[in-house]
Structure 1
Amino acid sequence: MSERLRPKDLAFLAEETPSTPMHNATVEIFDPGDSGFDYDKLVELIGDRISFVPRYRQRIQQVPGRLANPVWIDDPHFDLGYHVRRSALPRPGSLDQLRELVARIVSRPLDRSKPLWEVYFVEGLAEGRVALLSKSHQALVDGVSTVDLGQVLLDKSPEVKSLGGDQWAPRRAPSPGGLAVGAVRDTLRSRQVASDSVRARAASLLRTADAAAETTGRVLGGVTGRRAAHEGPLVGTHGQQRRVVSVHTDLADHRAIRDVHGGTVNDVILATVAGGLRGWLMTRHESLGGLRRVRAVVPVSVIDSELEATSLGSQIAPHFVDLPIGEPSPVVRLHQVSYSFKVHKETGRGVAANRLAGIAGFAPATFHAIGSRVAAAEVGRGMQLSVTNVPGPQSPLYAAGARMEATFPVPPLPPHHLLAIGVTSYDGGVAYAITADRDAVPDVDVLGQCLSEALAELLDTVSGSRPRVPRGRKGGSARAKPRTTKKTTSSGSKNGSTTGARTGSGAGKGTGGRTS
């Protein structure tokens, strides 16, 4: 029997527009070494393990007359080669070029007639490195029925483990008549199905009304020349194209700040975000008199039992933080952020970051996907920014024997949001990643530089700290070395935390744990 989409999953599909694609993305950089890791080996690896995520071979089928929510059905024409694609960078294969390619790819919505995911194998990075860019729709990865594909591709050792794949054959797709009969039957038998159908229709009507109101507002704004009340440097109407920025820093620096000033590594990360936003807005000559705080939603973990990868999606909750961008003192900003998480800490339901990172086959991509789903559900509640922070493993991971040297998320932009920030720690590093609207935020690379400066400002308050030297140059080598600091660069295309309990390891509060 086919499984129906839940109302929340259906909402992600209904709210998607060409300018607001609702998918998550992750970039992973690998050193193939002697493993021979190439496109063919990636296809073989995914073919060997895709059976662990059966949703990745299913597509969405509408019910005639919309008598009930759509269903997931096996794609009778599933073609792994369509979903696993090959690309390459021109010389010199810099991080700038990689981020530009990523920005172009994440700007394009996924094809709804196919399973809602893509993976790009990117060759041509400097020093023989390769990168994987994965895209998966927010309706696909919920942490309950489905985890991210990356969760099953990464191993803790370079030893290649072949699991043998499966002899998969698609189940026969239901006919239109069968779908209609099934919808009527399920509606009569299940109050939940009937309720979901009613909620889906009501939500559709509300979205239509909101879209009409927004169009009217834009027309009036064009006539009067006035900016809509909800628009500003962080919130407004965005276009289809994106820019991507990543800033690679050292986990040891965050821990040093934590050790001196208290709080958690996650507090340091959010204080860095607050300081970076403050510096960026000042370069724009934005008045901070009326914008003293930025309301951010930070997904937090509320797991208080043994973790299971198949139930993570129901154990993440939104936590609102007022980032004190009007405060000039970096230490005071840090303490204000720490205090904002005091209530969550005192619930006793938080989860240590090292506990999350210790999950077998742990991959930050799944947790970022869950965090983005939680953040998207809070749009309209006054938040101006989403920040998902995931504590990753502090030991190397491998794909088909190739060592993953670095990883960073590419968070989606919620409707009317011009910026989104994702943070991931991995193997001694902390990567900040920013997704921005290409046209509305042309200076997002300045924000990246301001994040680096905000972290350096906090480091300066630590006794005996030394000025930090950027890890690499703008446009330099695409090799991502852990435990060093990279200068920020941006990319784009014209076309086309969770948090929990305190612990001494991990990167900070993210979709998993509140780290100390």
Structure 2
Amino acid sequence: MSERLRPRDVALLAEESPTTPMHNATVEIFEPGPSGFDYPRLVELVQDRISFVPRYRQRVQFVPGRIANPVWVDDEHFDIGFHVRRSALPRPGSLDQLRELVSRIVSRPLDRSRPLWEIYVVEGLADGQFALLTKSHHVLVDGIDTVDIGQVLLDTGAEPKELGADDWRARRAPSPFSLMAGAVKDSAADLDTVVDTVRSTTGAVLRSAASGARTTGRVIDALTNRTPRSDSPIIGPLSQQRRVVTVRTDLADYRKVREVHGGTINDVVLATVTGGLRAWLMTRGESMRGIRKIRALAPVSVIDDELEATALGSQIAAHFVDLPVGEPSPLVRLHQVSYSFQAHQETGRGIPASRLAGMSGFAPATFHALGARVAGAERRRGYQLCVTNVPGPQAPLYAAGARMVATYPVPPLFEGRPLAIGVTSYDGSVFYGINADRDMLLDADLIGQCIREALDELVDSASPSRNRAPRGRRKRKTPEPT
């Protein structure tokens, strides 16, 4: 019998809506190798590697009557051309044009009748560069049976590795009768199956009712010329459109701040995000007296026997941190953020960043997806912003001989949270991917600029010519948030 979806995956499907598509995305920019790179080359590469992620050729099949959780079945009409797509910018394409294209593509939900992923090759970038954009649904990448396809497409050397496409043939899809029989058999063998199904079905009904209530409330607010209010400027209803902002910075700057003030690279990243948000809020005329902190969720990699094991050798857990946006001093902000993770380090569960960066393939793609799953599971805990930070390899990676020169994560948005930030370090740089609701955060581009300036402020504080505060804590090995 086909594998049944877990209750958490069923809940993700139930919670998805046109305004909250449940997929992670990654934008990677490449320089072609001596033999070049084009769409047929990408198709060949995916066909060569897709056997390592067999679920990418499976779709979700619901059980008649919803008497049990759906199952994964082979897509009998699997079409590699549907999932691997081609796009182009008018030459010479700019990074701004690429971001606009990516914003439109990530705004669209995936087709549930097919395997839940897409890859685009975007040609026409300046200097002969091209980009790859991958989209994978949360239920597809669980880190247990399936990693993100972006993890298996890249090699450590420029010489392309030919692993050889398999001779996969789709198994015949189960009939409605066999689906129901399998559900009855599973229920008889394991009472937990019945409980999980009831929970999933009940949860879906309640979420639908809650969604209807929210929609009704918005209509009433509009008719009475009122708008929903929130104490946070980054909380509010989502539209169906996104705006993606990217920022590239030098890893050496973070190391310089760490060497002078102590802590970890992760601490400096979160302090940079804090300073960037503070500056952005000030450009909007927000009162810093009323906004002292922003509650953030920063998923972390841990070793914990009580959490579900993954194929990556570690689990992902939620860590909540208050970003002190009301604090004017960049050093105080850094030390406050650092103190939050010191308490986590003392639990002894953390995974050193060097271990995460040394995992095979391009693991950040998978870790960002798992971090988003944690953020979705914890969305009722009252956090306002999710920041996933994943250390990647500090040596170049290649796709069919083309060198990857930049990688930007594009985390998803959850209901009521119009802003999410993903961070990946790779080959001497730190890349920020900022996903914002296009209608609610019209000035999202300013966040990227403010993040650059916040990092400059921290680097300036670490220069010998400045009168610095006393040195902070010594360097420590901490879990880097995923």
SS in 2 for 1:179: helix
Match of 1:129 in 2: 129
Task: State the match for 1:510 in structure 2.
Answer: 481
Q: Distance in 1 between matches of 2:227 and 2:335?
A: 35
Partner residue in 1 for 2:63: 63
Q: In 1, distance between residues paired with 2:395 and 2:206?
A: 47
1:384-399 mapped onto 2 (5 Å cutoff): 384-399=384-399
Pairing 1:28-67 to 2, within 5 Å after superposition:
28-67=28-67
- Tell me the secondary structure at the aligned position of residue 4 of structure 1: coil
User: For the Cα contact (< 8 Å) 1:294–1:325, is it kept in 2?
Assistant: yes
1:303 and 1:40 map into 2 onto residues whose CA distance is: 41
Report how far residue 510 of structure 1 moved.
2.8
Give the aligned residue type for 1:238: L
Displacement of 1:503: 4.3
For residues 112-511 of structure 1, what are the structure 2 equivalents within 5 Å? Answer: 112-230=112-230, 232-303=232-303, 310-312=310-312, 315-464=315-464, 502-503=476-477, 509-511=480-482
The separation in 2 between residues aligned to 1:64 and 1:54, in whole angstroms, is 25
Q: Which amino acid aligns with 1:49?
A: R
Asked if structure 1 preserves the Cα contact closer than 8 Å seen for 2:15 and 2:204, the reply is no
SS in 1 for 2:81: helix
Once the two structures are overlaid, the 10-residue window that deviates more, 325-334 or 41-50, is 41-50
Question: Alpha-carbon deviation of 1:219?
Answer: 2.7
Q: Distance in 2 between matches of 1:293 and 1:221?
A: 28
> SS at 2:90's partner residue?
coil
State how far apart, in whole Å, the 2-side matches of 1:381 and 1:222 are: 28
Report the Cα offset of residue 362 of structure 1. Answer: 3.1
Q: Which amino acid aligns with 1:408?
A: Y
Measured in 2, the distance between the counterparts of 1:314 and 1:202 equals: 31
Tell me the secondary structure at the aligned position of residue 380 of structure 2.
coil
Q: C-alpha separation between the residues in 2 aligned to 1:358 and 1:438?
A: 36
State the shift of 1:205 in Å: 2.1
Contact 1:144 1:313 (8 Å CA) reproduced = no
How far residue 230 of structure 1 moved from its aligned partner, in angstroms, is 4.0
Q: How far apart, in 2, do the equivalents of 1:45 and 1:92 lie?
A: 26
Mind listing any 5+ residue stretches in structure 1 that lack a counterpart?
A: 467-500, 512-516
Q: 1:323 to 1:429 in 2, by over 3 A?
A: same
Deviations 1:152-200 (A, max 9, x none): 1111111211111211000011001111111111111112211210111
Structure-2 separation of matches of 1:302 and 1:465: 39
Shift in Å at residue 380 of structure 1?
1.8
**Partner Cα distance (1:397, 1:348) in 2:** 32
Distance between the aligned counterparts of 1:196 and 1:311, measured in 2?
24
Following superposition, the deviation at residue 151 of structure 1 comes to 1.1
**Deviation per residue, 1:7-51 (Å, 9 max, x gap):** 111111111111111100001111113032221111111101101
> Per-residue deviation at 1:304?
6.6
Q: CA deviation at 1:429?
A: 0.1
Percentage of matched positions with identical amino acids: 68
Structure 1 residue 314: Cα displacement: 6.9
Tell me which moved more, 126-135 or 218-227: 218-227
Q: Does 1:13 align with 2:13?
A: yes
Paired amino acid for 1:181: A
Residues 67-106 of structure 1 show CA distances to partners (whole Å, capped at 9, x for unaligned) of 1011100000001111000111112211001111100100
**Aligned equivalent of 2:472:** none
One-letter amino acid matched to 1:233? P
Structure 1 stretches of 4+ with a deviation exceeding 3 A read 223-227, 229-232, 501-504
**Deviation sequence 1:451-486 (CA, Å, 0-9, x none):** 1111111111112479xxxxxxxxxxxxxxxxxxxx
Task: Quote the residue 2:470 is aligned against.
Answer: none
Render the CA deviation track for 1:205-241: whole Å, top value 9, x for unaligned: 2202211321232133224444435474211101001
* Contact 1:304 1:351 survives alignment (8 Å): no
Is contact 2:159-2:401 (8 Å) kept? yes
Indicate the SS of the match to 1:180.
helix
Tell me the CA shift for residue 373 of structure 1: 0.7
The answer to whether the 8 A contact 1:143-1:313 is kept is no
Q: Is the 8 A contact 1:244 1:435 kept in 2?
A: yes
Report the Cα offset of residue 5 of structure 1. 0.7
Secondary structure of 1:124 counterpart? strand
Deviations 1:105-157 (A, max 9, x none): 00100000000000001110111111100000011001111000011111111
- Counterpart CA distance in 2 for 1:365 and 1:443 is 27
What is the identity, as a one-letter code, of the residue corresponding to 2:247? V
User: What is the alpha-carbon distance in structure 2 between the residues aligned to residue 314 and residue 229 of structure 1?
Assistant: 40
Report which stretch shifted further, 48-57 or 223-232.
Answer: 223-232
The answer as to 2:97 corresponding to 1:97 is: yes
CA distance in 2, matches of 1:207, 1:200: 10
Deviates more, 1:66-75 or 1:220-229: 220-229
- Distance in 2 (alpha carbons) for counterparts of 1:88 and 1:193: 47
1:49–1:163 Cα contact (<8 Å) kept:
yes
**Counterparts of 1:155 and 1:122 in 2: how far apart (Å)?**
20
Three-state SS of the structure 2 residue aligned to 1:69 is: coil
Moved more, 217-226 or 165-174: 217-226
Q: Give, in whole Å, the separation in 2 of the partners of 1:36 and 1:86.
A: 16
Output the amino acid matched with 1:180.
M
Unaligned runs of 5+ in 2: 467-474
Query: What is the TM-score normalised by the length of structure 1?
Result: 0.89
Query: In 1, distance between residues paired with 2:115 and 2:350?
Result: 34
For 2:223 and 2:465, the matched residues in 1 are separated by 55
1:310 to partner: Cα distance: 4.8
1:390-411 deviation per Cα after TM superposition (whole angstroms, max 9, x unaligned): 1010000111111111101011
Q: State whether structure 2 residue 72 is matched by structure 1 residue 72.
A: yes
Quote the Cα distance in structure 2 between the aligned partners of 1:246 and 1:465.
31
- Name the CA distance, whole Å, in 1 between partners of 2:231 and 2:172: 49
Quote the Cα distance in structure 2 between the aligned partners of 1:362 and 1:431: 14
Distance across 1 between alignment mates of 2:298 and 2:169: 41
How many residues are matched?
472
Q: What TM-score does the superposition give when structure 2 sets the normalisation length?
A: 0.95
